[in-house]
Amino acid sequence: MGALELALVKEAFATNWIAPLGPHVDGFERELAAYVGVPHAAALSSGTAALHLALRLVGLQRGDEVLCSTFTFSASANPIAYEGATPVFIDSENTSWNMDPGLLAEELDSCAALGRLPRAVIVVDLYGQSADYAPILDACAKYAVPVIQDSAEALGATYRGAAVGQQGHFAVFSFNGNKIITTSGGGMLVAKDAALIERARFLATQARDPAPHYQHSAIGFNYRMSNVLAGIGRGQLSVLPQRIAARRTNFQSYRAALGDVPGISFMPIRPDSEPNYWLTCIMIDPEKFGASREDVRLALEAHHIESRPLWKPLHLQPVFASSRVRGGALSEGLFERGLCLPSGSSLSPDDLNRICALILETPRSLAAPDL
Ligand SMILES: *Cc1c(COP(=O)(O)O)cnc(C)c1O
């Protein structure tokens, strides 16, 4: 937390706005929308809730299909299943690890040939980096399929000079505890269309029709953000530039120490986009480096340092075993060899040096284990 958050939470207490809705909710929506450069935003209880409402707003029906990145967290696709619809997974490309626009276009052509277009495409901006939206939007515009951006990890990133979140019909952000800024839990749905965001707010507050009594003509959800958490979000938004700078420093320090090591490579960064550097991710080639991803992860863990394999592709997850996938080999390779390094905003230069030294020592410590 920064310095401002507690003051804003105190203000919520002082004015007794301890409710979903209130001045901080309105303020957080306004300020986030302005930051992203999209006119309308709805503050919600989570990024998952925001994705769920976006799918409701595109008219998702039971039995529909939704195309989705396979290389992502399960929350990207779970809301498709909430509605009794089916995810169809699309593999990544090698320049950003995000959805491959060529595979997406092939899948859309094949869906169109079968006369069964998907209701939407969920494009994930993974590890803080934008997907390649120009060809993705072209492919979707050809068949008028709406694009939902899962930008949960990418607040503050840009694509061709424009903030991530401006590209699709909807974009979703998360303020879960592990994201670059947090409200402990929370999310935001943004869109250009005021009526859609108004509808999202309506559905998120139990779909209460305008009447003095409780009147309902639709099934609603309890998905609104509380005024207390929105106060934290406003404070966090004000320190987002510092958080991005800290995470960029992590990335640069890791690259300076490990960038020239045979067998270690970094997540590729597209020349036309600027990530928020949420997590620093590396790939380890065991033949060239002399130790595998798992060897390195366990060596760090032995020193109480947490690191994690990259996302396991959703088409390999037991729960989505019956779903179709187009491609798949690229994300499978990323999962096999990739590692997310410690990437918190408060890592010190000493921490970073210690982590890098342990990584560099791993091949030697395998050859001559400490007794
Ligand atoms: C965190 C995350 C979500 C879900 O956000 P919550 O606020 O935790 O519900 C969705 N997609 C991706 C890619 C995420 O990293």
Q: Is 273 exposed, middle or buried (0-12, 13-18, 19+ CB in 10 A)?
A: buried
Kindly state if the Cβ of 27 falls inside 6 Å of ligand 1: no
Q: How many whole angstroms separate alpha carbon 197 and alpha carbon 182?
A: 22
Output the pLDDT for position 21. Answer: 80
Q: How confident is the model at residue 13 (pLDDT cuts 50, 70, 90)?
A: confident
How far from 145 is each of 64, 108, 121, 192, 303, CA to CA, in Å? 13, 9, 7, 16, 49
Centroid of ligand 1 to alpha carbon of 10 (angstroms): 28
Kindly state if the Cβ of 152 falls inside 6 Å of ligand 1: yes
Q: How many whole angstroms separate alpha carbon 53 and alpha carbon 196?
A: 10
Output the pLDDT for position 66. Answer: 98
Ligand 1 atom 5: residue of nearest CA: 47
What sign does the CA torsion over 179, 181, 185, 187 have? negative
Output the pLDDT for position 2. Answer: 78
Kindly state if the Cβ of 176 falls inside 6 Å of ligand 1: yes
Question: What are the pLDDT digits (tens) for 240-266?
Answer: 999 999 999 999 999 999 999 999 999
Q: Which atom of ligand 1 is nearest to the CA of 75?
A: 10
3-state helix, strand, coil in the chain (%, to 5): 45, 15, 40
Q: Which atom of ligand 1 is nearest to the CA of 187?
A: 7
Centroid of ligand 1 to alpha carbon of 42 (angstroms): 16
Kindly state if the Cβ of 150 falls inside 6 Å of ligand 1: yes
Question: What does 256-268 look like in DSSP terms, one character per residue?
Answer: HHHTTSTTEEE--
Quick check: 20 pLDDT over 90? no
Q: Which residues of 227-240 are buried (b: 16+ CB within 10 A; e: fewer)?
A: bbbbbbbbbbbbbb
Tokens in use for 39? 């006119």
Question: What does 187-228 look like in DSSP terms, one character per residue?
Answer: EEEEES-HHHHHHHHHHHBTT--SSSS---SS---B-BPBHH
Q: How confident is the model at residue 27 (pLDDT cuts 50, 70, 90)?
A: very high
Output the pLDDT for position 207. Answer: 96
Q: How many whole angstroms separate alpha carbon 270 and alpha carbon 118?
A: 28
Q: How many whole angstroms separate alpha carbon 166 and alpha carbon 191?
A: 8
Averaged pLDDT for residues 353-371 = 88
Q: How many whole angstroms separate alpha carbon 303 and alpha carbon 356?
A: 12
Output the pLDDT for position 28. Answer: 98
Q: Is 79 exposed, middle or buried (0-12, 13-18, 19+ CB in 10 A)?
A: buried
Q: How many whole angstroms separate alpha carbon 44 and alpha carbon 55?
A: 15
Q: How confident is the model at residue 368 (pLDDT cuts 50, 70, 90)?
A: confident
Q: Choose between 19 and 118: higher pLDDT.
A: 118
Centroid of ligand 1 to alpha carbon of 241 (angstroms): 21
Q: Which atom of ligand 1 is nearest to the CA of 126?
A: 13
Averaged pLDDT for residues 80-106 = 98
Question: What are the pLDDT digits (tens) for 289-312?
Answer: 999 999 999 999 999 999 999 999
Ligand 1 atom 8: residue of nearest CA: 176
Kindly state if the Cβ of 124 falls inside 6 Å of ligand 1: yes
User: Which one of 55, 71, 76, 97 would you pick to mutate in the ligand 1 pocket, going by the greatest count of ligand atoms within 8 A of its CB?
Assistant: 76
Q: Which atom of ligand 1 is nearest to the CA of 124?
A: 13
Q: Which atom of ligand 1 is nearest to the CA of 185?
A: 7
Beta strands in the chain (DSSP E): 40-44, 65-69, 86-90, 120-124, 147-150, 158-159, 162-163, 170-174, 187-191, 264-266, 273-274, 281-284, 308-309, 325-326, 338-340
| Predicted TM-score of the model (pTM) | 0.96
Quick check: 19 pLDDT over 80? no
Output the pLDDT for position 18. Answer: 79
In three-state secondary structure terms, 354 is helix
Ligand 1 atom 2: residue of nearest CA: 152
Question: What does the mean pLDDT of the chain come to?
Answer: 96
Question: What are the pLDDT digits (tens) for 205-234?
Answer: 999 999 999 999 999 999 999 999 999 999
Q: Residue 288: which H helix or E strand, with range?
A: helix 286-289
Output the pLDDT for position 371. Answer: 52
Kindly state if the Cβ of 76 falls inside 6 Å of ligand 1: yes
Centroid of ligand 1 to alpha carbon of 175 (angstroms): 8
Averaged pLDDT for residues 28-44 = 98
Kindly state if the Cβ of 46 falls inside 6 Å of ligand 1: yes
For residues 162 and 148, the answer to whether their CB atoms sit within 8 Å is no
Q: How many whole angstroms separate alpha carbon 229 and alpha carbon 45?
A: 9
Output the pLDDT for position 370. Answer: 60
Q: How confident is the model at residue 9 (pLDDT cuts 50, 70, 90)?
A: confident
Tokens in use for 360? 């560099």
Q: Which domains does the chain have, with CATH numbers?
A: 3-239 (3.40.640.10), 241-367 (3.90.1150.10)
Averaged pLDDT for residues 193-213 = 96
Q: What is the DSSP letter of 294?
A: H
Kindly state if the Cβ of 47 falls inside 6 Å of ligand 1: yes
Question: For a pLDDT cut of 70, what percent of the chain falls above it?
Answer: 99
Averaged pLDDT for residues 67-88 = 98
What sign does the CA torsion over 217, 223, 227, 228 have? positive
Quick check: 16 pLDDT over 90? no
Q: How many whole angstroms separate alpha carbon 71 and alpha carbon 313?
A: 5
Kindly state if the Cβ of 148 falls inside 6 Å of ligand 1: no
Question: What are the pLDDT digits (tens) for 110-151?
Answer: 999 999 999 999 999 999 999 999 999 999 999 999 999 999
Q: How confident is the model at residue 369 (pLDDT cuts 50, 70, 90)?
A: low
Kindly state if the Cβ of 187 falls inside 6 Å of ligand 1: yes
Ligand 1 atom 11: residue of nearest CA: 76
Kindly state if the Cβ of 55 falls inside 6 Å of ligand 1: no
Number of other CB atoms surrounding residue 176 within 10 Å? 17
| End-to-end CA, the chain | 42
Centroid of ligand 1 to alpha carbon of 76 (angstroms): 7
